[in-house]
Amino acid sequence: MSEPEHGRAYWIALPIGVTLIAFGIAGMVGDKGIATSLDIGAWLVGADVAHDFILAPLACLIGALVARALPRWCKAPAQAALLTTGVLLIVVSPALRGYGHDHVPDNPSVQPLDYTTATLTALAIVWTAAAIWAARRLARAGSGGSGKPSSTMA
């Protein structure tokens, strides 16, 4: 196996990136101290490991199962809606769990909205859009358009 060749952009970006990372670490240690910085570093490593060994394989498995189980006309809409749902739930999970209230319980500006309703509304929009997309693909496939209905289509 040959060594990868790096172009000029790589060698220009490498020292810039290393410098920015070193600046960030130095700033964090200076502001938070070494113990908190090590806790943050451990959390980042743990989050990376969890992503690489749990979340990403799970997403690939679900995507593969959806690709095998669903007819051709609704695969892409379902996979897009599932991906969007996953990202949305990851982003909104701290708000849904109420993080922040313990530190400043008397501050009304900390999580002032009803995040459960907002999340359900966003999910309804995502899945409605996916249903419309799938219905259009089915209509196009049924009318002899560009997509062909799968043999598993009912």
Tens-binned pLDDT, residue by residue, of the chain (154 aa): 777 788 999 999 999 999 999 999 999 999 999 999 999 999 999 999 999 999 999 999 998 999 999 999 999 999 999 999 999 999 999 888 888 777 777 777 777 888 999 999 999 999 999 999 999 999 998 876 555 554 444 4
The first and second tokens of residue 95, run together, are 């708000």
Measured CA distances, 118 to 21, 48, 64, 115 (Å): 36, 28, 30, 5
Whether this prediction's pTM lies above 0.85 is answered by no
For 14-48, the pLDDT digits (tens) are 999 999 999 999 999 999 999 999 999 999 999 99
The first and second tokens of residue 66, run together, are 């959806």
Q: Which spans in the chain are helix H?
A: 8-50, 56-69, 72-97, 115-142
